[in-house]
Amino acid sequence: MEKNPFVTKEQVERIAEQYPTPFYLYDEKGIRANAEAVKEAFSWNPGFREYFAVKATPNPYLMKIMQDYDFGFDCSSEAELVLSDAVGADGPHIMFSSNDTPDREYVLAHKLNAIINLDDITHIETLERLIGPAFPKTMSCRYNPGGVFKMSNGIMDNPGDSKYGMTKEQLFDAYAQLKAHGVENFGLHAFLASNTVTNDYYPQLAGELFALAREAHEKLGIHFAFINLSGGVGIAYRPDQTPNDIRAIGAGVHRVYDEILVPAGMGDCAIYTEMGRFMMGPYGALVTKAIHEKHIYKEYIGVDACAANLMRPAMYGAYHHITVLGKENAPCDHVYDVTGSLCENNDKFAIDRHLPKIDMGDYLFIYDAGAHGFSMGYNYNGRLWSAELLLKEDGSVQKIRRAETLQDYFATFDETEFAGKLGVEKRG
Ligand SMILES: *Cc1c(COP(=O)(O)O)cnc(C)c1O
């Protein structure tokens, strides 16, 4: 599908007068239309709830938008729990799906009444040590079937190689132990494949989890309050990919629900999801300016953003589509590597990319950076975090996080003799 930027060159020129590039720009209209589609796709299930995966885009303003749809938050760290609490989410709207969890994060999750989703059977003992023998009434366990997970379109993922979740034997053992700790409402969770661009992933995963829950229900006599399909619903980063159809995905899950859960008398079971990428990915872009061109053995365009702002291309070789704003209809008759300034040769947003002729000062719109974009940023080479801006439905722009300053970057030297020289207040 052809990709079109959600802003024009003129809009970006106006925004850049106030907020210098690079910046992240999020599209409120797109976020809301997609959230509505998700809600509708699962409206057949009365208890349905999406728990937005906070790690994808941990910004309270965007989390507030999620709350307009009664969505909750999937957290796996202290900071994500604190953010969820700060936007006013109550316990049932916080899913704590962590792994290798520090003690104090369990304590905080419990204090916030979050739903705790245990990654491992040994965490039952940890939890007992931390909160005592009386557990919350509702708890969940994460399952890992091992082996390979093969989808009908041939895409495979490798749960057997992943660190998450429990074996089937451990899972049943964990449920029995939790029951003895007073748990009454059980959840089952699994995340078996990432960025799936197929409408079959959720239905196939749901089929496996429903059958497993049914078996646990029959063997252990436990009540399943929810099945959590977690994340993994992908987006079409490449223009030649067909985007997922969330309505078809919801209908596919409905079909297996009626086939497996309803006949077992489990038709009161809620469906939960923890999508991150699908909720925000396409509705955020990194906007950056061309500041250098270089002609050596290849043609390079240097921009004012770098991999510290958007790591996915450098880390995974991930494709992010790029449009030169104002040149949407120009022929892509040039071939460029688009680079940032890091002293790392993998700092390239695009390699051998066909683009229109780029002039210095042109704005580049890097697509699908709304999830796992800003949040995966880092400070290598002393590069600073950019601002995050929200393009509101009425066309106005709201700053939802300012750009980092050198003072922010040096702030943790405040207890050293260099504080003054680095422009931070001396403390301690
Ligand atoms: C990362 C993560 C998600 C979100 O994954 P997406 O691919 O962004 O949808 C959901 N649940 C858990 C436990 C995760 O770790």
**Fold of the 282-412 domain:** Lyase, Ornithine Decarboxylase; Chain A, domain 1 (2.40.37)
Mutation test of ligand 1: which of 49, 54, 55 has the most ligand atoms closer than 8 Å to its C-beta?
55
Distance 307 CA to ligand 1 centre (A): 22
Dist CA 375 CA 378 (whole Å)? 9
Superfamily of domain 28-281, CATH level 4 = Alanine racemase (3.20.20.10)
Measured between alpha carbons, how far is 298 from 350 in angstroms, rounded to an integer? Answer: 13
Q: What pLDDT shows up at residue 153?
A: 74
Strand ranges for 313-417 from DSSP E: 322-324, 334-339, 348-355, 363-366, 387-391, 397-401
Q: What is the pTM of this model?
A: 0.97
Is the minimum distance from the CB of 53 to ligand 1 under 6 angstroms?
yes
CA of 232 to the centre of ligand 1 (A): 6
Q: Is 194 in the pocket of ligand 1 (CB under 6 A)?
A: yes
3-state secondary structure of 110: helix
pLDDT of residue 157: 86
One digit per residue, pLDDT tens: the chain, 428 residues?
789 999 999 999 999 999 999 999 999 999 999 999 999 999 999 999 999 999 999 999 999 999 999 999 999 999 999 999 999 999 999 999 999 999 999 999 999 999 999 999 999 999 999 999 999 999 999 999 999 998 877 777 899 899 999 999 999 999 999 999 999 999 999 999 999 999 999 999 999 999 999 999 999 999 999 999 999 999 999 999 999 999 999 999 999 999 999 999 999 999 999 999 999 999 999 999 999 999 999 999 999 999 999 999 999 999 999 999 999 999 999 999 999 999 999 999 999 999 999 999 999 999 999 999 999 999 999 999 999 999 999 999 999 999 999 999 999 999 999 999 999 999 98
Cα(415) to centroid(ligand 1), Å: 37
- Residue 152 alpha carbon to ligand 1 centre in Å: 22
User: Atom 13 in ligand 1: which residue has the minimum CA distance?
Assistant: 97
Give residue limits of the domains in the chain. 28-281, 282-412
